A and B are shown apart, each in its own frame.
Chain A
Amino acid sequence: VTQIMEHSEQARNRFQSELEFIQCLANPNYLNFLAQRGFLRERPFINYLKYLLYWKEPEYAKFLKYPHCLHMLELLQYEHFRKELVNAQCAKFIDEQQLLHWQHYSRKRTRLQQALAEQQQPQQQPPPHGNAATK
């Protein structure tokens, strides 16, 4: 019985470690670190990255807190991407773009709120033209 229990605990540990590891891939600095140490050139590691694609399935993906990692994982399947990650500037560029993308919705929301606020102000006076606001 203990053997069976160990087996399932082993599997749970493996699940948890793979869950952690795949989410680390969302961090471009970590990717740069991996690239500089040559991990991204090793065949077993490349195979492992392919194996990790199972996290794209909904029943696994629902455990991911940082879904950016899935996109990174997909990109990592390409040799060209793995090679480029050795450059620090590449990683920095990815990091910047990632952050900009991350801020995109907040910015959009802020802009919408500003637009709404501006729209509500002139309603107190009758508008000079008959046309509606062009926002």
Chain B
Amino acid sequence: DPNMAAVAEKSTKERLLSVLDDLEVLSRELIEMLALSRSQKLPQPGEDTQILELLVQRDREFQELMEVAQQQGKVHQEMQLLEKEVEKRDSDIQQLQKQLKEAEHILATAVYQAKEKLKSIDKARKGSISSEEIIKYAHRISASNAVCAPLNWVPGDPRRPYPTDLEMRSGMLGHMANLPTNGVNGHLPGDALAAGRLPDVLTPNYHWHSSDVPVGMLPPHHGNDFGLEPPGHNKENEDDVEAMSTDSSSSSSDSD
């Protein structure tokens, strides 16, 4: 019903004001008529009654509208109260949200750090070696002077932190190639014995190509990308190689 819609859109204030306007108009007309009726007869009989009736009607409307306005005022107040409640709840929720976010952040950090810790525990466990083995190994490489020079070392001493020519040839690889032992740089058993020192290969401890390999110890598998003979241990190569060391007389250090 379009009329109802039109009427519903008019606010109470507008309606009140329009009724007041009507009342004003009507009362003015009535007063004018009363003023005129002193001097003249009424042009339209019954007009005064009409106006009076209209006045009464409008007044009644006005009273009704005032009641409506009052009701609406109460409702409006309730609405305001509720709105305040809603605001309070909203801010409560926001506060909770903030706290939850903080908690989440703290937990996430804690979880992350715990994971890191687990990772490093894992890593440490994987790399753990028995202290006994480490001590054994440390003894092995120090006692043989492999990593630390002997305290009485002087230039001319044939000992080195690496396998010398003689040691290389007396190993398994050297024997595979069946080489004559023409050594270099005084690294021959004869020379060393004459100097009163045993060559490393004859020392009783810690052979550098150890034969105490446990049975289960296997090198990792490899395909045959490289099927080479280890070079330098073959007879054929020996012809053009007189010395594996440099041309200069001795390979020991003169400095310090």
Contacts and interface: CB of A to CB of B under 8 A. Distances in A.
Contacts, number: 164
A1 B228 CA distance: 29
Nearest to A99: B253
24 contacts: A17-B172, A17-B230, A20-B163, A20-B230, A26-B163, A27-B244, A28-B162, A30-B168, A34-B231, A44-B225, A44-B226, A63-B210, A65-B141, A65-B146, A65-B208, A66-B162, A66-B163, A68-B146, A99-B161, A100-B256, A102-B147, A103-B253, A103-B256, A106-B149
Given A68-B147, A109-B151, A39 B162 contact: no
Interface string A1-45: 000000010011111111111011011111011100101001011
Contacts of B112: none
Contacts of B231: 33-34, 37, 39
Interface stretch (B11-19, B27-35, B214-222): B214-222
Interface of B: 127, 129, 133, 136-137, 140-141, 144, 146-151, 153, 160-164, 168, 171-173, 176, 206-211, 213, 215, 217-220, 222, 225-228, 230-232, 237, 241, 244-248, 251-253, 255-256
A54 B133 CA distance: 19
Contacts of A92: 246, 248, 251
Contacts of B228: 39, 42, 44-45, 48
A102 B149 contact: yes
Interface in A51-108: 51, 54, 58-60, 62-69, 88, 91-92, 95-96, 98-100, 102-103, 105-107
Q: How large is the interface on A (under 10, 10 to 19, 20 to 34, 35 or more residues)?
A: 35 or more
